[in-house]
Amino acid sequence: EELEGEGSVLKRGPYGTEDDFAVPPSTKLARIEEPKRVLLYVRKESEEVFDALMLKTPSLKGLMEAISDKYDVPHDKI
């Protein structure tokens, strides 16, 4: 489709206007908040360099799980 305006011809593309693509307002989705994570830097006494330890849940249980997973220590030894 051609549109004429002050001495020039404008060609309209095969795509519609913004109004053609309008999306009706939808209901808002509830935001799902992910649990907070905590990043600690830890090391064994024998090590010189600290290493990152990510706690999936910021609790004592989360700390114990992270230490157990990282250093292959049974939960009952912590």
CA 71 distance to own-chain centroid: 27
**22 within domain boundaries:** no
**60 within domain boundaries:** yes
**26 within domain boundaries:** no
Q: Tens digit of pLDDT per residue, the chain (78 long)? A: 545 556 566 566 666 666 566 666 667 777 777 778 899 999 989 999 999 999 988 999 999 999 999 989 898 888
pLDDT at 41: 95
Domain that holds residue 52: 34-78
Q: What DSSP assignment string belongs to 19-60?
A: GGG-----PPPPP-PPPP-EEEEE--TT-SS-EEEEESSSSH
16-25 burial string, b = 16+ CB within 10 Å, else e?
Answer: eeeeeeeeee
**24 within domain boundaries:** no
Task: Please give the Cα distance from 53 to 39 (Å, whole number).
Answer: 6
**63 within domain boundaries:** yes
pLDDT at 33: 75
Task: Please give the Cα distance from 41 to 49 (Å, whole number).
Answer: 9
pLDDT at 32: 76
pTM over 0.75: no
Structural domains counted in the chain: 1
**42 within domain boundaries:** yes
pLDDT at 77: 87
